[in-house]
């Protein structure tokens, strides 16, 4: 393969090494199109890599004890917030309560953030730090959670950018050449600043949130535009909108109620038994219309089956291109609607293996249409694989393996009928690229093994030899 001017210039057995300024011997390795992570929260991922790991907590009490241990070990400097990440409370027998964090006192800011990012549990000191003093439980959900966590975890821009750069290097080392960043922030401004510090290790599509929509429209930004002064590496992404919440938080909007949500201790309010509608349909259409009329494509978060129907109804009304993010539980009657031209489904196969037990409980009797990638692909939907980092690690091989094998441990595959072929998974993780064609950008990954026929753990642990973005080495083993 000959790479010139950032693109694949030639592929074949007769190429002359004399044409190249640098010759790299692949030694029998495999070259693939580089991977895009189609759903990332980059600052939260970069921060989570430095936070207390709560993934193993099997109860609220256990999570609180992990945080207390970290406090005793002096994990943060005096005055800094102590933040944990990764708990899954969907199957906990107890509940987060203020008394479990009483050891933090009135001054120490302690926060525990759920794996799905939709719930956070704050100590009294943390509540005071974000202006929520007096909150009865300290448990924040959905927008309140996102806002409070962003404010509590704030560091100066230089520090955050250093964390992000480190996370991008790690992503490049796993074959990532691009990300779609859904960080809850003024992403266009933030990525301009980061690109000014030096060439980025990945390409970036930078999402816009409603708070910044008017500013983006006034600036004439349109989805796909390359932002000035970013070395051609950052482009404007979609407008991010939310229909519902998440499965673990029991706020994904469904047609059926969650089990045990009425009349039991800790039961949800009657109006939340089916999940939470974050953006009413008329408001969703209004925001999507405002964006689409100004060249900004909408990306609509929809996890529950009712939420996905609402998102599809909105796209049908507008007829615009865009994205549905997650599509975790679908109504069979909607399958054919996901094939509409210009619609992309941003899916996270690693969630299917991570959430299988929670889904079996909260979506009992419906999991045949949960994370239904094979059905969606057969219906003609366009899939793009992401991680939703930090919900899952920013590692494309995790998602590819889960999409193909539907298991990440020693258990039998979960709904193996919804597995997709390896070639389709590789393409979905590479923004639709199949194979290496002359003229394509030289966004490439060189791996030690042909991925065909590998076991699940072998795919997840694929050694990456090198990664290139536009013909520039961003990783070399």
All residues at 6 or more sequence positions from 393 whose CB lies less than 8 Å from its CB, including other chains: 350, 387
Per-residue pLDDT band at 19 (split at 50, 70, 90): confident
- Which tokens sit at 339? 């094939």
- Which tokens sit at 255? 């047609």
All residues at 6 or more sequence positions from 190 whose CB lies less than 8 Å from its CB, including other chains: 157, 183, 206
Q: What Cα–Cα distance (Å) separates residue 295 from each residue in 268, 343, 403, 431, 449? A: 40, 15, 32, 21, 42
Q: What is the pLDDT of residues 36-56, one digit of tens each?
A: 999 999 999 999 998 999 999
Direct distance between the N- and C-terminal alpha carbons of the chain, in angstroms, rounded to an integer:
19
- With beta carbons less than 8 A apart as the criterion, state whether 50 and 191 touch: no
Q: What is the pLDDT of residues 274-288, one digit of tens each?
A: 999 999 999 999 999
Per-residue pLDDT band at 267 (split at 50, 70, 90): low
pLDDT at 78: 84
* Measured distance CA(257)–CA(99) in Å, rounded: 30
Average pLDDT of span 349-372: 97
- With beta carbons less than 8 A apart as the criterion, state whether 159 and 17 touch: no
User: Positive or negative, the Cα torsion across 435, 441, 442, 445?
Assistant: negative
**Helix-, strand-, coil-residue percentages of the chain, each rounded to 5:** 35, 20, 45
Q: What is the largest CA-CA distance in the chain?
A: 77
- With beta carbons less than 8 A apart as the criterion, state whether 234 and 200 touch: yes
pLDDT at 20: 81
Residue among 310, 370, 373 at smallest CA distance from 345: 373
The residue count for the chain? 477
Residue 252: phi and psi, rounded to 5, are: -65, 130
Q: What is the pLDDT of residues 138-157, one digit of tens each?
A: 999 999 998 999 899 878 89
* Burial of 352 from C-beta contacts in 10 A (0-12 / 13-18 / 19+): buried
How much of the chain exceeds pLDDT 90, in percent? 89
Per-residue pLDDT band at 261 (split at 50, 70, 90): low
Residue 382 pLDDT > 80, yes or no?
yes
* Measured distance CA(21)–CA(61) in Å, rounded: 60
pLDDT at 36: 98
* Measured distance CA(62)–CA(68) in Å, rounded: 10
242 in helix, strand or coil? strand
- With beta carbons less than 8 A apart as the criterion, state whether 400 and 459 touch: yes
Q: Residue 235: count other Cβ atoms within 10 Å of its Cβ.
A: 21
Q: What Cα–Cα distance (Å) separates residue 114 from each residue in 15, 34, 52, 466? A: 52, 30, 12, 33
Long-range contacts of 472-477 (CB under 8 A, 24+ apart): 472/6, 472/199, 474/169, 474/172, 474/177, 474/201, 474/202, 475/169, 475/172, 475/173, 475/201
Average pLDDT of span 354-379: 97
- With beta carbons less than 8 A apart as the criterion, state whether 396 and 428 touch: no
Cα 432 to chain centroid distance, Å, stands at: 18
Residue among 185, 176, 179 at smallest CA distance from 209: 185
- Which tokens sit at 450? 């042909």
- DSSP letters spanning 244-295: ---TTTT-S--SSPPTT-SSSTTPPPGGGTT---SS-HHHHHHHHHHHHTTT
Average pLDDT across the chain, whole number:
95
Higher-confidence position of 299 and 47: 299
- Which tokens sit at 268? 């949800």
pLDDT at 153: 80
Average pLDDT of span 107-131: 95
305 in helix, strand or coil? helix
Residue 270 pLDDT > 90, yes or no?
no
All residues at 6 or more sequence positions from 116 whose CB lies less than 8 Å from its CB, including other chains: 88, 246, 247, 248, 249, 391
pLDDT at 313: 98
Q: What is the pLDDT of residues 55-73, one digit of tens each?
A: 999 999 999 999 999 999 9
Q: What is the pLDDT of residues 434-476, one digit of tens each?
A: 999 999 999 999 999 999 989 999 999 999 999 999 999 999 9
- Which tokens sit at 202? 């990945």
pLDDT at 403: 98
Residue among 377, 213, 232, 233 at smallest CA distance from 297: 213
pLDDT at 453: 87
Q: What is the pLDDT of residues 69-106, one digit of tens each?
A: 999 999 888 888 999 999 999 999 999 999 999 999 99
* Measured distance CA(314)–CA(243) in Å, rounded: 11
How much of the chain exceeds pLDDT 70, in percent? 98
Whether a cis peptide bond, with omega within 30° of 0, leads into 100 is no
């Amino acid at each position: 393969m000959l790479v010139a001017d950032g693109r694949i210039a030639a592929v074949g057995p007769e190429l002359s090494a004399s044409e190249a300024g640098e010759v790299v011997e692949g030694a029998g390795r495999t070259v693939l199109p580089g991977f895009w992570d189609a759903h990332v929260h980059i600052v939260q991922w970069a921060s989570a890599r430095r936070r207390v790991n709560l993934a193993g907590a099997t109860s609220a009490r256990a999570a609180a004890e992990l945080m207390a241990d970290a406090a005793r070990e002096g994990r943060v400097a005096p005055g800094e917030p102590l933040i944990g990440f990764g708990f899954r409370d969907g199957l906990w027998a107890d509940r987060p309560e203020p008394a479990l964090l009483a050891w933090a006192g009135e001054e120490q800011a302690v926060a525990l953030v759920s794996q799905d990012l939709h719930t956070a549990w704050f100590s009294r000191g943390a509540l005071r730090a974000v202006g929520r003093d007096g909150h009865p439980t300290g448990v924040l959900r959905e927008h309140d959670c996102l806002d409070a966590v962003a404010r509590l975890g704030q560091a100066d821009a230089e520090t955050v950018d250093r964390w992000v750069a480190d996370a991008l290097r790690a992503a490049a080392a796993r074959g990532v050449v691009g990300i779609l960043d859904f960080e809850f922030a003024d992403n266009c401004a933030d990525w301009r600043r980061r690109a000014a510090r030096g060439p980025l290790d990945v390409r970036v599509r930078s999402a816009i949130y409603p708070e910044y929509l008017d500013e983006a429209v006034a600036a004439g930004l349109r989805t796909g535009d390359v932002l000035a002064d970013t070395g051609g590496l950052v482009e404007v992404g979609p407008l991010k909108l939310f229909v519902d919440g998440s499965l673990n938080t029991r706020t994904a909007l469904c047609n059926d109620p969650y089990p045990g949500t009425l009349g039991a201790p800790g039961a949800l309010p009657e109006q939340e038994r089916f999940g939470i509608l974050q953006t009413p349909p008329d408001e969703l259409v209004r925001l999507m219309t405002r964006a689409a009329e100004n060249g900004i494509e909408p990306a609509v978060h929809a996890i529950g089956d009712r939420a996905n129907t609402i998102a599809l109804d909105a796209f049908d009304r507008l007829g615009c291109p865009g994205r549905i993010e997650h599509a975790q539980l679908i109504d069979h009657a909607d399958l054919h609607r996901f094939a509409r031209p210009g619609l992309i489904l941003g899916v996270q196969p690693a969630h299917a293996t991570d959430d299988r037990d929670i889904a079996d409980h909260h979506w009992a009797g419906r999991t045949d249409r949960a994370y239904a990638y094979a059905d969606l692909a057969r219906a003609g939907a366009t899939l793009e694989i992401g991680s939703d980092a930090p919900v899952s690690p920013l590692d494309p091989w995790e998602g590819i393996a889960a999409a193909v094998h539907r298991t990440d441990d020693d258990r039998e595959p979960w709904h193996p009928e919804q597995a997709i072929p390896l070639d389709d998974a590789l393409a979905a993780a590479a923004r639709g690229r199949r194979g290496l064609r002359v003229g394509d950008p030289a966004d490439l990954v060189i791996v030690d093994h042909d991925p065909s026929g590998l076991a699940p753990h072998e795919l997840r642990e694929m050694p990456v030899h090198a990664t290139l973005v536009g013909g520039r080495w961003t990783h070399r083993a």
